[in-house]
Chain A
């Protein structure tokens, strides 16, 4: 952490989020996680990969595992459109590719515009840690669920798809 990263007064501090869409819903991740956005290269399936990994892509000599977010959230799979993108994100010291329907924009919001989602106490990964936008005076724009990318790496648990829908509802209503 550098001096520039810490110590700003909380109310005035701002965060930048990268907003994207999957299955008609809006989501956002920390822009510092985003390494690159590009039209999706062909995904090579990998035998014996964990179920949430669709395969890998080769990007300038690097092999990046790919998660299809629609698939993980239990949404119907559609053929890629002109707007489909591969969102390459950083998790610790590794990279992960997320296939999303559309990458919209980078938003700059005050930290206080991000609302934590209520804990539902369900087992399984917690994908949505909060939300922003909607009717919040500082946010504006559609309600966007804050996606915890690390949760995409957790093993698929039974009943996950219903839990995801419940989490999304709860986070949106926060």
Chain B
């Protein structure tokens, strides 16, 4: 499978808050509807989005069944007038050529093509500017009201709904050990947390900064920020910003709260 398709599958599967599934002692209690859905007996097929070609097989396939047979049948597309309406990453659209060559920016989560330049999304927490690797950023939204989840780890502010998907929202201030309260009117940066989409609540999103590969300076030691979250320090004209590791931020947001609770 090409990586664009992998990424799309990951996007669609990552509905529950990712780090919560890995939390050792006290998993985040899911919203009631989600919990019910997950408790459904394994014999019942889960909700699956119909894809063109799935009509070819009558037998419901559980998610753990081998993929080869189902894949074969799915690809044998019947003559369905609505088939083209549904998205397939491998669809053939010759008229796309009219838009000119594809933009150079790579879609692959692996990062900048050929290591030429790296892009970062810079955002503000309080008075300071931080950034994360652009490849991990899915989208940026105006922060809607966050639904709190009782007994969630401290770093988890709650969940929001993005076009029908439930996404957990983390407070990067908590993960970094920064003082300062969460202010209303911020933005949520949806990132790829490895196991699905997660949101980071920030005060403002500033810009996309493009730096030549290897131009990040080593993070200052003893600066008070947890070292595993820091990738380095970048410079954009006059301004310095601290580049954060998304995976480490999310681990801290999910795990540290449980540790603090002593469970």
Q: Give A contacts to B, CB under 8 Å.
A: 1-10, 12-16, 18, 29-38, 50, 53, 60-63, 65, 90-94, 96, 106, 108, 111, 114, 116-117, 119, 129-130, 146-148, 150, 153-155
B151 — which chain A residues lie within 8 A by C-beta?
Answer: none
A32 — which chain B residues lie within 8 A by C-beta?
Answer: 8, 12, 49, 86-87
Residue among B50, B90, B96 with max Cβ neighbours from chain A (10 Å): B50
Q: CA of A129 to CA of B49 in the docked complex: distance in angstroms?
A: 19
Q: CA of A94 to CA of B206 in the docked complex: distance in angstroms?
A: 25
User: If the complex has contacts A3-B65, A5-B74, A8-B60, are A36 and B93 also in contact, measured as CB distance less than 8 A?
Assistant: no
Q: CA of A1 to CA of B90 in the docked complex: distance in angstroms?
A: 10
Q: CA of A33 to CA of B89 in the docked complex: distance in angstroms?
A: 9
Size of the chain B interface, CB-CB below 8 angstroms: 61
Of B47, B51, B95, which one neighbours A153 at CB under 8 angstroms?
A: B95
Closest Cβ of chain A to B161, distance in Å, is 9
Scoring B residues 51 to 72 as 1 if CB is less than 8 Å from chain A, else 0, what string do you get? 1011101111101111100110
Given A8-B61, A10-B54, 8 further pairs, Cβ under 8 A? A6-B51, A6-B71, A7-B60, A8-B50, A14-B48, A32-B49, A38-B141, A61-B208
Interface of chain A, helix or strand or loop or mixed?
mixed
User: If the complex has contacts A8-B48, A106-B163, A114-B82, are A2 and B67 also in contact, measured as CB distance less than 8 A?
Assistant: yes
Is the beta-carbon distance between B85 and A146 smaller than 8 angstroms?
A: yes
Is the beta-carbon distance between B163 and A2 smaller than 8 angstroms?
A: no
Q: CA of A117 to CA of B8 in the docked complex: distance in angstroms?
A: 29
Q: CA of A96 to CA of B50 in the docked complex: distance in angstroms?
A: 23
Q: What are 27 inter-chain pairs, A to B, with CB distance below 8 A?
A: A1-B51, A1-B71, A2-B9, A3-B65, A4-B13, A6-B54, A6-B70, A6-B71, A6-B74, A9-B45, A9-B60, A10-B58, A13-B54, A29-B85, A60-B134, A60-B137, A61-B210, A63-B103, A63-B105, A90-B89, A92-B89, A92-B92, A111-B50, A117-B81, A130-B82, A148-B85, A153-B98
Is the beta-carbon distance between B163 and A94 smaller than 8 angstroms?
A: no
Closest to B91 in A: A92
Is the beta-carbon distance between B95 and A150 smaller than 8 angstroms?
A: yes
Q: CA of A42 to CA of B140 in the docked complex: distance in angstroms?
A: 17
User: If the complex has contacts A10-B50, A150-B93, are A4 and B63 also in contact, measured as CB distance less than 8 A?
Assistant: yes
User: If the complex has contacts A6-B73, A62-B105, are A93 and B65 also in contact, measured as CB distance less than 8 A?
Assistant: no
